Amino acid sequence: MKIGVIAIQGNVTEHVHALERTFAEQGVDGEIIRIRQSGLVPDCDAIVLPGGESTTLARLIWQEGIAAEIRSAVRSGVPVLGTCAGLVLLAKDGDDQITRTKQHLLGLMDIEVKRNAFGRQCDSFETSIDIPVIGGLFPAVFIRAPAIVRCGEGVSVLARFGEYMVAAQQDNMLALAFHPEMVADTRLHHYFMNMI
Ligand code: GLN
């Protein structure tokens, strides 16, 4: 099994380590590759879009020709995990900030996102949220996190926090507003790997 982590910018190493731990826990001999150029996504069995800065990430994945490859892989059923900025990129619709700055979105998931919904970097926080599909409470780290403000019919909401939806799944796409790669708990990475 080969998992590609889009490694242009952001929380790449943390995801690689969390995936390595998950492989070890499952006893799977998997390979993780860091993707910085086009030509690699088509060989992957799953793709991770890490958090970072969605404007920078969007610009670079388009510039490198990676965006089109992600789109066609995901449309053909390859599982994708988008965390934080990765969730923003997966979305079909964005808030005023996204529209105003003409930020590119992959437009794969039928969700509308609001960037920086919980405030600025200094408003980052960790809290316990209930995620029934993985068996209950999970320590969620929110760093200048986006939130989901609308979900289409084919989307299941996996977790809510306050007025917002913060975890959702549509078929082979899993979107999390927080950072599961920054905690020791690998249940969400296991959940993702079980989608492959
Ligand atoms: N606020 C960032 C953005 O919208 C996301 C932050 C993160 O990925 N930690 O790009």
Give per-residue pLDDT as tens, 155-196.
999 999 999 999 999 999 999 999 999 999 999 999 999 999
Euclidean distance between CA atoms 110 and 20, whole angstroms: 30
Over range 148-157, report the average pLDDT: 98
- Number of CB atoms found within 10 A of residue 104's CB: 16
The answer to whether 41 and 134 are in contact (CB under 8 A) is: no
Instruction: Give the residue, by CA position, lying nearest to ligand 1 atom 8.
Output: 51
CATH of the domain at 159: 3.40.50.880
Question: Which of 43-66 are b and which e, b meaning 16 or more Cβ less than 10 Å from the residue's Cβ?
Answer: ebebbbbbbbebbebbbbbeebeb
Summarised one tens digit per residue, pLDDT across range 30-60 is 999 999 999 999 999 999 999 999 999 999 9
Strands (E), the chain: 2-6, 31-35, 46-49, 80-83, 91-94, 109-114, 125-131, 136-142, 147-151, 156-161, 164-170, 173-176
Structural domain span for residue 131: 2-193
Would you call 181 a catalytic residue per the annotation?
yes
**Over 90: is that where the pLDDT of 120 sits?**
no
DSSP result, 17-58: HHHHHHHHHHT---EEEEE-STTSGGG-SEEEE--S-HHHHH
Total structural domains within the chain: 1
Q: Give pLDDT, residue 38.
A: 98
C-alpha 177 – ligand 1 centre gap (Å)? 9
Q: Give pLDDT, residue 122.
A: 66
C-alpha 53 – ligand 1 centre gap (Å)? 5
Q: Name the β-bridge partners of 95.
A: none
pLDDT category at 121 given cuts 50, 70, 90 is: low
- Triad 117, 48, 77: Cα angle to 5°: 110
**Six token digits for residue 152:** 């289409």
**Burial class for 10, CB neighbours closer than 10 Å (0-12, 13-18, 19+):** buried
Over range 22-34, report the average pLDDT: 96
| CB contact set of 102 (below 8 Å; sequence gap of 6+) | none
Query: 193, 188, 172: which is closest to 136 by C-alpha?
Result: 188
Q: Give pLDDT, residue 123.
A: 77
* Binding pocket residue ranges, ligand 1, CB within 6 Å: 51-54, 84-85, 88, 115-116, 143-144, 146
